[in-house]
Amino acid sequence: MKRVKTLLLGSAAGLCAVAGAQAADLPVQKAAPVEYVRVCTAHGAGFFFIPGTDTCLRVGGRARFEYQYSSQNARATDVSSWRGLGRLNIDARTATPYGTLRAFIRFEIASRTGGYLRSGTQERFANAFPATGIDTAGQLQKYVDVDKAFVQFAGITAGRAQSFFDFYAGDLELIGSGQYSNTNTNLLAYTATFGSGFTATISIEDPIYRRAPVFAQAAPLSMGQGNGFGPALGIAGVSSIATGYFPGTTIPTGGIGVNVIQKNDMPDFVGALRYDSAWGSAQVMGSVHEIKTIGRIGTPVAVGPDAEYGWAIGAGVKVNLPQLAPGDQLWLQGAYGQGAGSYTGLYGPPGGDLALSNVTNKFQINQVDAVLQNNGQLNLTESWSVMGAFLHYWSPEWRQAVFATYGQQNFDPRLRNNNFGPVGITGGAPLGATGPAGPGAPFVNVFNPTLMSYDQFYGGTNLIWSPVRDLDIGVEVVYQRIWLPRAVANNNLGTFAPLAGGLVTTGGAARVTSFDDNVMARIRVQRDF
């Protein structure tokens, strides 16, 4: 028995030895190394390396709810506005021998309804809600916006980005709508860094996003020109300029048809000198904006007014005030321009090529960069603005901003002379009523709705609660007012009855006004990540 056990054990040992020898001859399969996502600290918090590359990526975004109530006076205007907005930020950075190579993209996707938050020119895109019914036309819009998409490398910025003219751009407001420049545009810029916080930038920028129309009054029918576009509304179109006058009169002896619609020619040129330090920031900036119409119509060669060059200058300062509370800030800014109302912040958004009031609906004003004069020249419109804003943290969770802006648009007084001003403008009291200068009076009639200079104020306050990080729950109240300092206008909200010779109020006299105002209340809930 003992011999049998020994034999069995020896056989088992031999089999194990043979199996082990064969196993040693087989190739060994090693598991592939796992490349985990690594944190990238070189460019700030939130960045990580894209696996297999040396590029750091940060993905962020925003979800926002907004509601606004506006004290509009006209029945045809929405008083409630709603918006739900989603934002996606993608920031990619790579270290190179020439500095950081950066690509930044920001998409905004939203659904908005009502009057203030919508864009009537963008009511249908791709699969958007059509908004074509009798109760929805102009009332609802779904949209996707490439808010920013630019590349930065070795001092160069190329793509869609914030204009380098901008300084304060509504930073402390829920919805920035005051008199200051706040424009995303297509641009190519170079920034030189001098050290000690100083930088200088020169930028060529897309003029479309800065364009306001040229005012052109329709020509008298006797001249055989004009296109019936409703020139009193300031719509760019076809007008005419006089080629001569009967001696001692303002009656033209002939005219040339001119198309005053603008087309792209030269880009806008923007320059900015900026200083940044622990105490805050300061900037001076300037811009040049070409205004050029198509020119003469009806001939192979376009001949018309020479191009004019609008311009704007500005300066701003931001002061950090940690001595009051951590995070406190004070902003001050001013701008002045000729033929560049977008840079001073006086005009509406791109595409607003009509008369706008931007307040309620008592009257309309023309927001134009230039006026085609009777003598064929372009007269540039003057505008200026000032603003101030202050942010205070009552506690780490509660903060409040107070802000105010004031601006003014002025037309050259000489434009109120028929022999110098726009072709076809006639005097007379409004709609045949009797005004201070009487029926048939010259253009200086204060009731004439065309080319009215105006002043505008916009100011308010907001209170924001942040119970946890990156969550804001806020309310804002804003007051907006517009004046006609040297004129009065027909009050569109008045009750009129038709009478021979024109329209007058039921009381027998035209109802007029010299100001318009509005109060807006807003609510926002926002989460950033």
Indicate the pTM of the whole model: 0.80
Q: What is the CA radius of gyration of the chain?
A: 32
Q: What is the dihedral of CA 123, 129, 131, 133, to 10 degrees?
A: 160
Contact in structure between 337 and 313 (CB atoms under 8 Å): yes
All structural domains of the chain with their residue ranges: 155-528
Cα–Cα distance measured from residue 457 to residue 492, given in angstroms and rounded to the nearest whole number: 21
Complete DSSP assignment for 321-387: -TTTSTT-EEEEEEEEEES-HHHHT-S-STT--SEE-SS-SS--EE--SEEE-TTSPEEEPEEEEEE
Cα–Cα distance measured from residue 207 to residue 487, given in angstroms and rounded to the nearest whole number: 32
Contact in structure between 313 and 285 (CB atoms under 8 Å): yes
Secondary structure (3-state) at 310: strand
Tokens found for residue 178: 């005051």
Per the DSSP assignment, residues forming a β-bridge with 295 are 259
The sign of the CA dihedral 344, 350, 355, 359 is: negative
Tokens found for residue 448: 């004439």
Q: pLDDT per position in the chain (529 positions), as tens?
A: 555 455 444 555 554 544 455 545 555 566 656 667 889 999 989 999 999 899 999 999 999 999 998 886 555 567 888 889 999 999 999 999 999 999 999 999 988 887 655 444 444 444 455 565 655 666 666 778 899 999 999 999 999 999 999 999 999 999 888 899 999 999 999 999 998 999 999 999 999 889 888 887 654 433 333 333 333 333 334 556 666 666 766 566 666 667 777 878 899 999 999 999 999 999 999 999 999 887 655 444 445 677 899 999 999 999 999 999 999 999 999 999 999 999 999 876 554 444 455 566 777 788 889 888 777 788 899 999 999 999 999 999 999 999 999 999 998 877 766 555 554 444 433 333 333 444 433 333 344 556 788 999 999 999 999 999 999 999 999 999 988 887 777 777 664 444 444 444 444 455 778 888 889 999 999 999 9
